[in-house]
Amino acid sequence: MVFGFLKGEFIDVISYLDDTRDTMVWRFERRGNAIKYGAKLTVREGQAAVFIHEGQLADVFGPGLYMLETNNMPIMTTLQHWDHGFDSPFKSEVYFVNTTRFNDQKWGTKNPIMARDPEFGPVRLRAFGTYSMRVSDPGKFLTEIVGTDGEFTADEISFQIRNVILQEVSTVLAKSGIPVLDMAANTADLGKIVTTAISPKIAEYGLSIPEFYIENVSLPEEVEKVMDKRTSMGIAGDLNKYMQFNAAEGMANPNSGVGAMVGAGMAAGMGMNMAGGAGPWGAQPAAAAPMAPPPPPPPATKAWHLAENGVTTGPFGEGDLAALAMSGKLTRTTQVWTAGQDGWKAASDTELSRLFAQVPPPPPGV
């Protein structure tokens, strides 16, 4: 910080070097001294110098080097009724305003925002993010917000800015109609809507919001756990398999919460089985009625192979062979074989001979 070089009781150099990162306004300390007419004012890039004379906003200077004279202090000249021959020292408050961006300002909902979701119904939402701010009108910012504060930091205004942001975020999220599950894909658009809505109010403070971000919109922790369970069920697919998987996982980890639940479920199941097998209190369980024996399995059918002119065909069931016998394609002399039979035999020499009971023999002389 440079307080200026004093020449007698008059200040002839006014400048300010900011070595902090959060100072928005700093008052030049003239310590009761008057400012010399024609003094040099240095305003660096990212700064503005605001003159307050007798409680009234006077001239505002942007970056540059100035000689404080009547020709470049029109408002001060008007307020003081200076004539062109004026060359006396004067007393004014000089404030240096930082006009650069103040980035990474945080905002977040203190209380949940009630909204109506098209899928889940009434839900409570929380949101947080960041924004940047800058002084767009140094004179208005000084008169509306700073007042006579000799050193004003970003923290002193951020609370008020957050209140404005949260009010508008609540309104935008509640009226958006966007499903909660789709909000993550629409945070950029929602952020633009919020920025547009809060800009007029922020401008009343002499500020602007160059950047505004919604980083996250979330449901209450309990609801998110239910959603995670629902997602897991969808991934597991079959509900029975999912329950079996949970049971197996619980048995593998008996000390976990899942294991305790599985153990309790097994104990309850065993108790129900025991209760179902017992009669009234003190009575012996009734003897179970004998179960009827299961029906015998159907007899296995044989599969037959046929051989003719060195070529085998099959396998055939007896139904197929009966049809072949009626059509004449299976004769008494046809060579046949089935599993367990000792080599190939004529059909008439096997149990297939009964198939020819309805088939007339070859005509005489054949």
Can you give the residue range of the structural domain that contains 83? 6-98
Whole-number pLDDT of residue 103: 94
Q: Residue 317: is its pLDDT beyond 50?
A: yes
Whole-number pLDDT of residue 298: 61
Q: Are residues 106 and 216 in the same domain?
A: yes
Query: Is 57 part of any domain?
Result: yes
Q: Residue 78: is its pLDDT beyond 50?
A: yes
Whole-number pLDDT of residue 254: 62
Whole-number pLDDT of residue 135: 96
CB atoms within 10 A of CB 355: 20
**Alpha-carbon span 145 to 238, nearest angstrom:** 62
Whole-number pLDDT of residue 264: 52
Whole-number pLDDT of residue 253: 66
Query: Is 286 part of any domain?
Result: no
Whole-number pLDDT of residue 51: 94
Q: Are residues 114 and 203 in the same domain?
A: yes
How do residues 188-222 score in pLDDT, each as one tens digit? Answer: 999 999 999 999 999 999 999 999 999 999 887 87
Q: Are residues 191 and 122 in the same domain?
A: yes
Q: Are residues 93 and 108 in the same domain?
A: no
Of the pLDDT bands very low, low, confident and very high (cuts 50, 70, 90), residue 179 is confident
Number of domains present in the structure of the chain: 3
**Alpha-carbon span 243 to 265, nearest angstrom:** 12
What the block records as the tokens of 305 is 């192979």
Among candidates 194, 186, 190, 208, which has minimal Cα distance to 165?
194
- CA distances to 21, 34, 41, 70, 292 from 37, rounded to whole Å, are 32, 9, 11, 9, 122
Q: Residue 8: is its pLDDT beyond 80?
A: no
Higher pLDDT, 286 or 321: 321
Q: Residue 95: is its pLDDT beyond 90?
A: yes
Of the pLDDT bands very low, low, confident and very high (cuts 50, 70, 90), residue 80 is confident
Q: Are residues 112 and 64 in the same domain?
A: no
Q: Are residues 319 and 344 in the same domain?
A: yes
Whole-number pLDDT of residue 90: 87
Q: Residue 63: is its pLDDT beyond 70?
A: yes
Q: Residue 176: is its pLDDT beyond 70?
A: yes
When the pLDDT of each residue in the chain is averaged and rounded to a whole number, the result is: 80
Query: Is 20 part of any domain?
Result: yes
Q: Are residues 115 and 78 in the same domain?
A: no
Query: Is 62 part of any domain?
Result: yes
Whole-number pLDDT of residue 7: 45
Q: Are residues 19 and 57 in the same domain?
A: yes
Whole-number pLDDT of residue 96: 96
**Alpha-carbon span 26 to 43, nearest angstrom:** 13
Of the residues 172, 207, 222, the one at which a domain ends: 222
DSSP 290: P
Whole-number pLDDT of residue 203: 95
Q: Are residues 113 and 60 in the same domain?
A: no
Cis peptide before 297 (omega within 30 of 0): no
Q: Strands 311-316, 304-308: parallel, antiparallel or unpaired by DSSP? A: antiparallel
Which of 84-98, 148-162, 230-244, 260-274 has the weakest average pLDDT?
260-274
Query: Is 285 part of any domain?
Result: no
Of the pLDDT bands very low, low, confident and very high (cuts 50, 70, 90), residue 6 is very low
Q: Are residues 92 and 172 in the same domain?
A: no
Whole-number pLDDT of residue 313: 86
**Alpha-carbon span 206 to 333, nearest angstrom:** 115
Query: Is 258 part of any domain?
Result: no
Whole-number pLDDT of residue 289: 60
Q: Residue 279: is its pLDDT beyond 50?
A: no
Query: Is 277 part of any domain?
Result: no
What the block records as the tokens of 278 is 């017992």
Whole-number pLDDT of residue 260: 53
Q: Residue 270: is its pLDDT beyond 50?
A: no
Q: At 310, which CATH number?
A: 3.30.1490
Whole-number pLDDT of residue 67: 92
Which pTM value belongs to this model?
A: 0.57
Q: Are residues 130 and 73 in the same domain?
A: no
How do residues 29-58 score in pLDDT, each as one tens digit? Answer: 877 778 888 899 999 999 999 999 888 899
Query: Is 231 part of any domain?
Result: no
The SS3 of residue 292 is coil
Of the residues 98, 116, 151, the one at which a domain ends: 98
Percent of the chain with pLDDT over 90: 31
Q: At 205, which CATH number?
A: 3.30.479.30
Which of 61-70, 74-83, 100-109 has the weakest average pLDDT?
74-83
Of the residues 222, 240, 258, the one at which a domain ends: 222
Q: Are residues 200 and 161 in the same domain?
A: yes
**Alpha-carbon span 16 to 2, nearest angstrom:** 5
The SS3 of residue 128 is strand
